[in-house]
Amino acid sequence: MSHRFRGSRVRQHLHCDSCYSRRCRARVEPSASCALVPCRLLCGAVFHLCKEEDHLLLCPNVRVPCLNAEYGCPVQLPRSSRAAHLQVCPASVVCCSMEWLRWPVDDTNPNNFNAMQDNMMKERETHGEALDVAMALVDQSDLYARLKMKPLYPELMEQEEEENIKDESREEIAVGGVQDQNPSEALPVSSMSENHAAEETAQSVTQPPVINIEKYNLFEMMFSMERGACAVAQENLENQKQKLANEGRSQKAPEQERQDTTSPRSCPPPDTSKTGLAPWQEGVLERLGQELTPQEYNMYMVHHGRMLLAFGQIEACTSREKDFVYGSLEPIAVQTLHSFKVPVSYRHKRRVHLNETAARVQTEHRSVDTSDLGASEEDWFVDEAEATLLGYAEMAVMGHKISETKGADGLYVDFGTQTHSFHTSPFKQRTTLAEVMADRPLKLLLQLQAETVNSRNNRASCAFTFLCGHSFHRREFATHFRNVHSDIQMCLSEWFEQQCPLAYLGCTYRQRRFHPSTQKATVTYNQQLRCFNLRPDVLPSLDGKAGDGEDRLSSLPYEVLCHMASFLDSQSLSQLALVSRLMRQVCSSLLQDRGMVTLRWERTSSSHGRAKWKSKPVWEFSHLFSAVDSWNMADIPPISAHLKVCPFYQKTEQKERVALPFITEKQQKSPKGQSLLNHFTGQR
């Protein structure tokens, strides 16, 4: 717009277009120049009057929307303040991308903590949950909602009716497919299963074979292309014949008039099956040799040789004298690229060596069944969660699967098969593990230790990768990452929260060793919000409630409540807004300064029935607790004090004397030999 405006002014004011002096003394002329004026917004600029509109595009005092106006920021501010506003802009939001891995429990590891995890799940209501257990339960719920049953158990899926209808309609569309049947003559399912063997032989005789639709369409396309090329060639030949016929008619016109008088008016159409040049017409090779030149004949055979072979016009194997298409080619000598390698398992030396070293067990051939294993029918069924987690762990870790077919050599191939039996099978097509385990008792099947770096798989495509995903204001992100991920989460096991050394036996005792240096507070984990928070240690007399349960805090003036709320962190404000309508109004007054705005996308349907996505700005507080610059050690007894009363700590007292191995019999008989001090001093 500025270029068009300046272009229109150039023709009126030639001097103003190239003048940038603040002390211009050019004479004011309507066609050459105009007067100098200062900026209305007092930015200090002086320019010609015709450039005022261009100056407003650069003036630092013009009020413009924020750079994040499209993301929900409603602030209008001077252009010179936009850079400084980005530090406090409510739409300047950062999403935390911290990732970690949490693998399923390993039952084969003798040093696992399965006993401790089971005991903690039983005592979670009475003693409260530990930080790592609470995080593992949240990750497990997310993992259950993410894992689908179909990729692992396609044979246990239900067949949907819509897919059956689509498959049947596709077969009916196919040419030569299933014949139409009268619905009244359709058989029930039971009768169809009983008469299946008898109907198989009858249908093979009465009904034509079912043709694959994809192959039929492919062959039809190839046939139409070849036939179109033949039609063009035949049309060119017919045009040449028509020209020759027209020339002959001019010479034999009297004879044709006599024949027309004697012949009837209506005659049958001529038979072109033996006169055309199409590949499916009889005698086409003889007519091609008579009417085409050798060069045209060879070109025809190259383009339509496959069609001639398909319609039986030429033989598949012809002699060199009769072969016109490939007669100039020489046969290629057969070369052996890969020689046969004797399998290792077939060698006599290796078989003898195995028989000599391996323990020989007497065997016999016998037909066995599942019942011979001595297991009850209930033992056939396995837990859905354990089997599904193990199956996805096979795909995530770069190793071989449990049931994997592996070829040792050319003779021996190891086939691996694995079957699953579940009480809840068959599953629907979109069933997830969370739907299957909805009514089951809660059980922790993931490890308490989380990993951040793993070289055996790619975290982006791994099912056991978990993402923080919380949104924070740009000025809050550094505090969140330092306090939550660096101080608490990565140092959780054995440092921030210390557990009993006998935890592998099942002891659930834990103690938290650190608290913020500025206040006395306890670190907790909120499973609903999926974030850490600080719970201050408040005396019962300062809880804000009277003896009868009345809320004395709400009786304070509105201005006092707003002033008190300004000292709270973002996470406390988000929870305070859920207490009452009054507290929600108090917290909403701080949204412009302390809150953040994000876009929330919603799916709507248009008038035409099409789905559309629309976004709307949503104001909220982040899940950031008060910043902690340093941590102090809590005033608690050491973990060794717990071992004195730990129920899993069993003492073994040795009352009998045990002789040391290097004491000889002579030293035992001597009265001084009973002391180690006498033993060493005597040798000295």
The answer to whether 613 touches 601, Cβ cutoff 8 Å, is yes
First to last CA, the chain: 107
Structure tokens at 124: 């979670």
414-442: pLDDT as tens digits: 666 677 888 888 888 889 999 999 888 88
Q: Tell me the torsion sign for CA atoms 437, 443, 446, 450.
A: positive
pLDDT score of 493: 79
pLDDT in the model for residue 262: 42
- Model pLDDT, residue 206: 37
DSSP string across 80-107: GGHHHHTTT-TT-EEE---EEE-PBP-T
Residue 502 has pLDDT above 80, yes or no: yes
Q: Which of 99-108, 199-208, 337-346 has the highest mean pLDDT?
A: 99-108
Across 394-412, average pLDDT: 67
Q: How many CA atoms lie within 13 A of 326 on its CB side?
A: 11
pLDDT band of residue 200 (cuts 50, 70, 90) is very low
Write down the pLDDT at residue 329.
Answer: 54
- 28 vs 126, more confident: 28
pLDDT band at 199 (very low <50, low <70, confident <90, very high): very low
Has residue 261 got a pLDDT over 60? no
311 contact partners, CB below 8 Å, separation of at least 6: 279, 280
Beta-strand relationship, 46-48 and 406-407: unpaired
DSSP symbols for 406-473: EE-SSS-EE--------SSPSBPTT-BHHHHTTTSPP---B-SS-BS--SSS-GGG-TTEEE---EEE
Helix, strand, coil share (%) of the chain residues, nearest 5: 40, 10, 45
378 is written with which tokens? 């209930």
pLDDT of residue 277: 63
The residue type found at 77 is L
pLDDT, mean of residues 370-380: 70
pLDDT at 242 over 90: no
Average pLDDT over residues 619-639: 91
Report the distance separating Cα 570 and Cα 479, nearest Å: 12
- Helix, strand or coil for residue 46? strand
Across all residues in the chain, what is the average pLDDT? 75
pLDDT band at 8 (very low <50, low <70, confident <90, very high): very low
Of 253-257, 364-368, 503-507, 637-641, the range with the lowest mean pLDDT is 253-257
pLDDT at residue number 620: 93
pLDDT digits 0-9 by tens, 15-69: 888 888 888 888 888 888 888 899 999 999 999 888 888 899 999 999 999 999 9
Cβ-Cβ contacts under 8 Å for 468 (sequence gap 6 or more): 96, 97, 98, 99, 485
Res. 127 pLDDT band, cuts 50 70 90:
low
Indicate the residue type of 189. Answer: V
Calpha distance 601→150 (Å, rounded): 29
pLDDT above 90: percentage of residues in the chain: 24
Residue 173 has pLDDT above 50, yes or no: no
Is residue 289 over pLDDT 80?
Answer: no
Gap between the Cα atoms of 513 and 525, Å rounded? 16
The pLDDT score that the predictor gives to residue 279 is 66
Q: Is 408 exposed, middle or buried (0-12, 13-18, 19+ CB in 10 A)?
A: exposed
According to the model, what pLDDT value does residue 565 have?
Answer: 93
Cα–Cα distance for residue pair 231/279, rounded to 1 Å: 10
| C-beta separation of 33 from 19 below 8 A | yes
Alpha-carbon distance of 291 to 270, in angstroms, equals 20
The total number of residues written for the chain in this structure? 684
Residue 134 corresponds to which tokens in the numbers above? 């609470």
Tokens of 456: 């055996």
pLDDT of residue 108: 74
- Which pLDDT value is given to residue 458? 65
- CA-atom Rg of the chain in angstroms: 45
Residue keyed to tokens 């008016």:
265
Q: In this structure, are residues 53 and 41 in contact, taking their beta carbons and an 8 Å threshold? A: no
Q: Does pLDDT of 325 surpass 70? A: no
Hey, which of 44-53, 274-283, 327-336, 549-558 has the most confident mean pLDDT? Answer: 44-53
What distance in Å separates the CA atoms of residue 488 and residue 135, rounded to the nearest whole number? Answer: 12
SS3 582: helix
Nearest to 19 by CA among 45, 51, 58: 51
Closest of 599, 624, 333, 322 to residue 481, by C-alpha: 624
Q: Is the pLDDT of residue 175 over 90?
A: no
| Tokens 């804000």 belong to residue | 544
- Do the Cβ atoms of 411 and 343 come closer than 8 Å? yes
**What average pLDDT does range 521-528 have in this prediction?**
90
pLDDT at 518: 87
Q: Would you state the structure tokens that stand for residue 482, as one six-digit string?
A: 């330092």
Residue 536: strand, helix, or coil: strand
Cα separation, 508 vs 118, in Å, equals: 10
Q: What are the residues facing 420 on neighbouring strands?
A: none
Give the per-residue pLDDT at 341: 58
- Of residues 533 and 309, the one with the higher pLDDT is 533
Largest CA distance in the chain: 159
Q: Among 199-213, 365-379, 518-532, 648-662, which is the least confidently predicted range?
A: 199-213
Query: Mean per-residue pLDDT for 70-75?
Result: 91
Residue 676 has what pLDDT? 62
**Is 553's pLDDT higher than 80?**
yes
